[in-house]
Structure 1
Amino acid sequence: MSDGMTDGSTATFPMGGPVQLAYAVDDVRAAAAGWAPVGVGPFFVMEHIELGATRINGTPATFDHSSAYGWWGDVMFELICQHDTPGSDRIVGADGLHHVAHFVDDLDAVSTGLIRDGHAEVLRAETSNGMGFAFHDGGAARGHLIEIYEPVPRLRAFYDMVRDASIGWTGNDPVRTL
């Protein structure tokens, strides 16, 4: 079975189409304010997102980051900024496309498939409510990380909230704090 990837990989695991595009930025609030005038948004900002059970490149680590979540067309649009902390490994680099996220039925199985197909696990973590997710190296053909997570009810509700806020949005209150 192919997952429809166009970089020549012969993936043997199911991974649906993109549900989120994420861009690396230096300041999520300023970047959100810059995207809003072109119709992306409104944005919901979460600062210093709490994570647990975090590994970077297989080693226990911290990943202190902030994100702003908006809606663009048919996908969630995230702006992500990693805060430098002593001893942290940098996984959010220069400005530009950082990752493309996909819902998957089985996080562990798809992660194993990505690793088997040459896409090393860069980050594995859990949100404060226990939802696991992973970033995998997308390789030179993609030029960005691949994020995967299971569409648990709480996550689907968050996606729905962000999408619903964008419907009929007139540009008012473009940057909101969660």
Structure 2
Amino acid sequence: MSRLFGPVRQNGYVVRDIEAAMAHWIDVLKVGPWFYIDRVKTDWFRHRGQDSPLELSVALANAGDLQIELIQQRNDAPSMYKEFLDSGREGLQHLAFWSTDYQALYDRALSLGYTMGHEGQIGGERGRFAYFDTGAPSGAFAGTVVEISDISGSKGRFFDHVRKCALGWDGTDPIRPVR
């Protein structure tokens, strides 16, 4: 548990092929079911302070209490996901912390000297999220992004549903499209 932000609630993986990534997690790691959103609709999205027309697909599943998020960017809009892929990487891109007091986490990250990479909102003002560059110069945490996410609204209820569906999952209906 982080004494700064609470427990890590999600590991986010940026991938080039979300369908292949889900298949790997299902077939090899036996993680699922996956809740798949082919085209995520954001209320707004900004990369490094500028509006950006991001298009992406997301899949969510839980391994115990840890949520796994797979992200595939579908266009060339500026984002930290695109920066990650353009640097030649694919895989674990961020650790996420969730809160019902989003502004407190946001202010704490800024007070630590973290810089805003991108931020947005899904499903209204209680669906905010922000990704921060940590400034870690080297070592195991270098290049890893910290996300904070507001779960005080419908997103929190959806995340809880994903977690509950993973409990005792028997392998049936492994990919569940979200409309």
Query: Aligned ranges for residues 25-40 of structure 1 at < 5 Å?
Result: 25-37=15-27, 38-40=29-31
In 2, the alpha carbon distance for the partners of 1:117 and 1:55 equals 21
Q: Which ranges of 4 or more aligned residues in structure 1 deviate by more than 3 Å?
A: none
In 2, the alpha carbon distance for the partners of 1:162 and 1:129 equals 20
| Cα deviations by residue, 1:124-151 (Å, 9 ceiling, x for unpaired) | 1111434211111133352321111222
Does 2:112 correspond to 1:125?
no
Query: Aligned ranges for residues 1-178 of structure 1 at < 5 Å?
Result: 3-4=2-3, 14-37=4-27, 38-85=29-76, 88-92=77-81, 93=84, 94-130=89-125, 131-140=127-136, 142=141, 143-178=143-178
Q: Unpaired segments of 5 or more residues in structure 2? A: none
Q: Unpaired segments of 5 or more residues in structure 1? A: 5-13
Counterpart of 2:164 in structure 1: which amino acid?
D
In 2, the alpha carbon distance for the partners of 1:56 and 1:167 equals 35
SS of corresponding position for 1:33:
helix
Distance of aligned partners of 1:52 and 1:117 in 2 relative to their CA distance in 1, 3 Å threshold: same
**What's the TM-score once normalised by structure 1's chain length?**
0.84
CA contact (8 A) 2:13 2:70 kept: yes
Aligned residues: 165
In 1, the alpha carbon distance for the partners of 2:97 and 2:30 equals 23
**What's the TM-score once normalised by structure 2's chain length?**
0.83
In 2, the alpha carbon distance for the partners of 1:95 and 1:68 equals 16
SS of corresponding position for 1:110:
helix
Displacement of 1:105 in angstroms is: 4.0
**RMSD (Å) for aligned C-alpha atoms:** 1.8
Percent of residue pairs identical? 29
